[in-house]
């Protein structure tokens, strides 16, 4: 069975943020991820992780939360210095929290100059933090209009071009379904460069149970390939988080 972790930005939101760590542990999770933890004192998060013996699987870069604002800057020409500053802050948080992965968001951009900017920034980041696992994630343009990294072939091209051991792909099944319509096929084509997985069902982005994506087959693929990374539940619970966790015990 895959190793599941809880995305505390999406799950247990019926509780105050710092109480979600205990709830995740009580639900059986051994790891959590938080998309944008920067509005919370890092030591408070470290305390919760330690108290409940949880690992931090992933956080996002850049800070602060992108809601209502920019969705990253890594591919945006002219914002290279802002990217470096934001990356530095995110890296400090990642190290303090012991985050296994730091996801670098490309932002809204297009064209050859954006691609060159993205390559240069990622190459710099990989060299700046050689011991930190960095990820990039293809995100569908319905969810994030204009997002630069919106294609899995482009994701492979970027990872291949950077050719750094600490830069890999982050595979989100919901975005894969939106982008290609073929989650299992897209996984087969990208699993060799993937280091982190996130899951949600189509079309409602709810629990990974009934719906369009064949999760028993997907989880069987992960097991057959001995995938050792985390599989994060990044979905909107249809009722309460705990009431919707049957998909784990049914796996």
Active site residues: 137, 234
Class of residue 53 by CB neighbours under 10 A (exposed 0-12, middle 13-18, buried 19+): exposed
The pair of three-digit structure tokens given for residue 67, joined into one six-digit string: 């809601």
Instruction: Please give the Cα distance from 192 to 35 (Å, whole number).
Output: 24
The Cβ of residue 186 has, within 10 Å, a number of other Cβ atoms equal to 20
Instruction: Please give the Cα distance from 212 to 145 (Å, whole number).
Output: 23
For β-strands 31-33 and 3-7, DSSP reports them as parallel
Instruction: Please give the Cα distance from 213 to 205 (Å, whole number).
Output: 11
Instruction: Please give the Cα distance from 169 to 222 (Å, whole number).
Output: 15
Per DSSP, what are the bridge partners of residue 126? none
Spatial contact of 43 and 25, defined as CB atoms under 8 Å apart: no
Using only C-alpha atoms, the chain has a radius of gyration, in whole angstroms, of 17
């Amino acid at each position: 069975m895959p190793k599941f972790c809880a995305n505390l930005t999406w799950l247990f939101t019926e509780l105050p943020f710092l109480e979600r760590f205990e709830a995740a542990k009580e639900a059986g999770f051994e790891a959590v991820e938080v998309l944008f933890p920067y509005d919370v004192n890092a030591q408070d998060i470290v305390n919760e992780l330690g108290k409940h013996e949880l690992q931090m699987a992933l956080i996002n870069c850049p800070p602060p939360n992108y809601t209502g604002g920019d969705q990253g800057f890594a591919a945006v020409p002219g914002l290279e210095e802002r990217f470096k500053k934001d990356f530095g802050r995110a890296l400090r948080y990642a190290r303090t929290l012991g985050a296994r992965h730091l996801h670098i968001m490309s932002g809204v951009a297009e064209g050859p100059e954006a691609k060159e900017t993205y390559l240069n920034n990622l190459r710099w980041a990989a060299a700046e933090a050689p011991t930190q696992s960095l990820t990039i994630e293809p995100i569908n343009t319905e969810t994030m209009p204009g997002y630069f990294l919106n294609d899995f072939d482009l994701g492979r091209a970027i990872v291949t071009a950077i050719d750094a051991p600490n830069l890999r792909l982050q595979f989100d099944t919901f975005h894969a379904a939106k982008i290609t319509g073929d989650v299992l096929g897209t996984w087969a084509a990208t699993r060799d460069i993937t280091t982190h997985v996130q899951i949600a069902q189509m079309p409602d982005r709810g629990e990974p149970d009934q719906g369009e994506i064949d999760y028993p087959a997907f989880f069987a693929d992960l097991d057959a390939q001995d995938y050792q990374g985390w599989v994060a539940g990044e979905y909107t619970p249809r009722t309460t988080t705990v009431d919707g966790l049957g998909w784990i015990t049914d796996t």
